Structure 1
Amino acid sequence: MTQTKLAEKQADEILDTCLKAGRLMLEGGSEIYRVEDTMLRIAHNAGVEEARCFITPTGIFMSLGQHSYTQITQVKNRNINLELVDRVNELSRKFAAKEITLKQLRKKLQEISRALPDFPIWLQILGATIMSPTLMILFMGAYDWADFLPAAIIGGGSYGFFLGMKRYTSVRFLAELVTAIVMATSTICLCHLLPILKVDNIIIGALMTLVPGVAITNALRDLFTGDLLSGISRAVEALLTAVALGGGIGFAIKVFAGGL
């Protein structure tokens, strides 16, 4: 094999590894500057000094500088999975410390992409169940113990429904819209059966599990660091998610609330 072909093979391996790491981090909801920093560090530690990359929420472009080797990759799935971001960062640090080789790094990234790390569904639902009533108390500013248990049940059940909807639909924001309708309708029906309960308290607590807080934070961080394209697109995506949630709640209240 000629020297040129060896250089091309090495460049392909470096580019493929960097793009895999960047794509996984974007799919986990990482900020653009963090993705860029990780990709450039991997390239630098692989012996490439003049690597360049351009990152958007839906695609990554990377070039190895003077060698003119360039590749792109698409990012189709975007969620909030900080466990995924942490694992890629950990592998990048191990590669920088020479604990693993470039081939081992590439192999481990492929393994992660085939089996994305995530918490068990039961644990996610349990977290939503605990978070809903506590956030209800935080936002309402009152210890309304009558609504505490219903908020936990509605919050946990609605989040489980949301996870199921996301698995069986590829339409953006549909899961949020339908879940908000189901959540508000369930709350209204429960409050009809038990008039002592307050619709507003329960809905506010349960809804907090779906509010795109991390997405909004990342959008602002991208804007503040100068990544305007990513910041604006992420802000619009978070806004549309909020509109879907608010629209679902408003629709259910308008149709089913009656005198409440």
Structure 2
Amino acid sequence: MTIQQEYTYDVMEVCLLAGKIMLESGAETYRVEDTMMRMAQAFGAKESHSYVTPTGIIFSIESEQPTKTKLFRITNRTTDLHKVTLVNSISRKITSNELTMVEAYHALKEIEKSGVEYSVKLQVLAAAIASGCFLIMFQGTWVDFLPAVIAGGTGLVAFILAQSLVPIKFFAEFVASLIIALLSLFFVTVGWGFELDKIIIGSVMPLVPGLVLTNAVRDLMAGHLVSGLSKGAEALLTAFAIGSGVAVVLTFL
């Protein structure tokens, strides 16, 4: 392998690592493709091509040698916009020649290793408060605020536990919505809550795939039909899982 070939493969590794982090953290498809191609251009690649879907990245660089192409499989996807921001920052530094390829690679590795910025306790607290606020936004009463807070926080705990036991996102969402509906029904039955529908709606809102749905529309508008339809299907399945969990409880009323 020549020095030129080794350098090209190194450039591809850095670009693919950046794309992998962004895609796993919830970035839009067009943003991932644009970032990878800009980084490759900054490292001296005359022409590069990227094809990104929610489950994989195909990236190639044109050179004097035969075209080199690599495929990166994406299995885990979550929402961590802080990581997306950090990768974008590294991309801008590369473009302005502030980082070498080795420095950029090590910086991206550090970002990849870093976990979720917020602790589980803080996530549950945020989900609980958001559930109560959503209830008020949907014209619920303050009497139902506390039941929605408890149901929303417990629902997120159930989601995290279910996903750790069975790594299937849609199953975890089904279990979480089922727990939320059962708790809401319990609160109304014992007289601690009054409007069952408002409590359930407010409590399940932290589970709603808002970012996925937004990215699906943005990808479709940008012409990425495969990614847009895939993310739209993911959002639809998530909505179906949440609705099914609630429907199971309401069916027996």
**SS state of the match for residue 204, structure 1?**
helix
**SS state of the match for residue 214, structure 2?**
helix
Residue 78 of structure 2 is aligned to residue 79 of structure 1: yes
Map of 2:90 onto structure 1 = 91
Identity over aligned residues, as a percent?
37
Map of 1:183 onto structure 2 = 180
CA gap of 1:251–1:100, structure 2 versus 1, over 3 A, is same
**SS state of the match for residue 52, structure 2?**
strand
- Deviations for 1:122-175, whole angstroms, at most 9, x for unmatched residues? 111111111111111112x35x11001111111112112212222222223000
Map of 1:249 onto structure 2 = 246
**SS state of the match for residue 156, structure 2?**
helix
**SS state of the match for residue 201, structure 2?**
helix
What is the letter of the counterpart of residue 164 of structure 2? Answer: R
Task: Give the TM-score of the pair, scaled to structure 1.
Answer: 0.92
Q: How many aligned positions are there?
A: 251
Distance 2:20 2:128 in 1: 31
- Deviations for 1:37-90, whole angstroms, at most 9, x for unmatched residues? 110111011011201111111111111124411111001111122112111111
> Which structure 1 residue ranges, 4+ long, deviate > 3 Å from structure 2?
none
Map of 1:126 onto structure 2 = 125
Deviates more, 1:177-186 or 1:63-72: 63-72
Distance 1:45 1:250 in 2: 53
- Deviations for 1:193-239, whole angstroms, at most 9, x for unmatched residues? 11652211110110111011111010000000000000001000100
Q: Pick the aligned partner of 1:23 from 11, 17, 20.
A: 20
What is the letter of the counterpart of residue 238 of structure 1? Answer: A
Distance 1:41 1:127 in 2: 36
Map of 1:111 onto structure 2 = 110
Map of 2:51 onto structure 1 = 54
Deviation at 1:189, TM superposition (A): 1.2
**SS state of the match for residue 218, structure 1?**
helix
Deviation at 1:10, TM superposition (A): 0.5
Distance 1:116 1:95 in 2: 24
Task: Give the TM-score of the pair, scaled to structure 2.
Answer: 0.95
Give 5+ residue unaligned stretches, structure 1.
none
Over the residues paired in the alignment, what is the CA RMSD in angstroms?
Answer: 1.4
Give 5+ residue unaligned stretches, structure 2.
none
Map of 2:236 onto structure 1 = 239
1:160-239 paired onto structure 2 within 5 Å: 160-194=157-191, 196-239=193-236
